[in-house]
Structures are given as structure tokens and as C-alpha cells.
Amino acid sequence: MILTDTHTHLYSEAFDEDQDAMMQRAIDDDVKRFFVPAIDSAYTERMLDLKKRYPQEVYLMMGLHPTHVNENVLNELEHVRKMLDTKQFVAVGEIGVDLYWSDEFKKEQLEAFHTQIQWSLDHELPIAIHCRDAFNEVFEVLEDYRNTKLHGIFHCFTGSLEQARHAIDLNLHLGIGGVATFKNGKIDQFLNEIDLKHIVLETDAPYLSPVPYRGKRNESAYVKLVAQKLATIYNTTIEEIAQVTTLNSTKIFGL
């Protein structure tokens, strides 16, 4: 069985004390593929170092996270552009819109989202979308690319069934993580109405730990708990969930 974590911040400071042990726990628990999104330029070296140490397991994305869009946005975007030109990355992400904390840089977030989507098309790469309190804004941007080769993952999907179908209609897969295990997560109530071919697994480690670790540090090994939850939702085996979602990730990233 091969599980794939399509969204995990393995380079986070949260893992500074036990990064190698954390990676080994995941590998020992059948997680063999790790897709790692960017945040901003401050983390690039940590990401590249991780790739050097786990060249067969780790795949890197490059992008500017919407919560890190500020007065320095143009310099950060230039960094993203230059890094994408090095051809070391398998996706553009994570990118999108986040209005949960503040809407001070909403205009800049939207512009950065547009810019990075265009770069994903230029490089023929998928995108990993971050959306928090901004479904309307995100979908409005995505609609501009409906008739393009846009594809990727709607990371940490927490929307409604209607929004899930909208994302799928835009050639996006749904990234399902720990929220599916929450009592108030809601998505578990309708996921079985979405064909498994549209689903990929993720942790968003070190954030959003699944039950029974909710509130504690998340790590990639816990993607197996998400798979177990989906096996219950879809009334199938964890092996089937692993096989289909890993195949889906292979199609998205071309790997």
C-alpha cells in the first residue's frame, strides 16, 4: 500500500527537533510520497535542503502563500518567478486568497493569485489552492481560467457539496485532510456523493491534525487516519482509498 500526502509543510519549524524521525514514522506507515508547498522566500532554503535529504520521497512546490502577501509582494513574486524558472518544482502553490485574518491586502492577494495561476499555465504545472473565508473570491478568479489547462488541488477543502462540484467542474481535485475526521467538519456528510477519482489525501502538517490528535501537532504519518476515515465514508477498504488517491495524485503532478 502506498499513501500520498499531497500537502505537508515538512520544513516547518515545528519539526526542527525530530524531522528525520517524523519522516521515518510516515514512511514506516506506508506514506511514500510527500508534496511540499511553499509559503514565502524565507523557507526556500529549508525546502531545498529537505529535497536533498529525501530526493525520492519529497516533491516541492513553489508559490507565495496568500497570508504572506504584504507590502513586499512584488519582491516575493519575483522570487517565485525565478525559482520556477529553475524547473525544480512540480506545482505552483500554495496560492489563493485568505480573508480570515485580514482583508488589508485583498487586492494584492487577488493580483498575486492571478499572476501565479498564469505562471502555472506557462510552466504547464498544477496549482495548490489555499482558500479561507474567500470561496467567492477564489471561484471568481478561477472562472477566468475555465477554458485553459488549469488543473490542480483545492487544498484543505472545507466547502459545501455545491462548491465541491464547482471546483471539480474547474478541473480541480479536492484535498481532504483532518477536517474530514472532525465532528463539526461537515464535509464527511456529503463526500460519498463525490466520486473518489476527484479526491486526494493530505495532512497540511503541522496543522489540522485528525482525530484523535486534534489540537496537537500534525505529521504526515497521520494521513493514514484520513484514509481510514474515507474508507468508512466510501464503504471500502483503506487499500482502495490509498490506491485511488495515489493514482489521482500521479495524474495531477505527472509523477
Q: Which of 76, 9, 13, 5 is nearest to 37 (CA)?
A: 9
Domain boundaries, given as residue ranges, for the chain: 3-253
Cα-Cα-Cα-Cα dihedral sign, residues 50, 51, 54, 57? positive
Q: Which of 205, 214, 199 is nearest to 245 (CA)?
A: 199
pLDDT at 184: 86
- Rounded to whole angstroms, the Cα distance separating 152 from 97 reads 16
pLDDT at 185: 83
pLDDT at 124: 97
Whether the model clears a pTM of 0.85, i.e. scores above it, the answer is yes
Cell numbers 483532518 correspond to 178
pLDDT digits (tens), the chain, 255 positions: 999 999 999 999 999 999 999 999 999 999 999 999 999 999 999 999 999 999 999 999 999 999 999 999 999 999 999 999 999 999 999 999 999 999 999 999 999 999 999 999 999 999 999 999 999 999 999 999 999 999 999 999 999 999 999 999 999 999 999 999 998 888 999 999 999 999 999 999 999 999 999 999 999 999 999 999 999 999 999 999 999 999 999 999 999
Q: Which CATH number fits domain 3-253: 3.40.50.300, 3.40.47.10, 3.20.20.140, 3.40.710.10?
A: 3.20.20.140
pLDDT at 75: 97
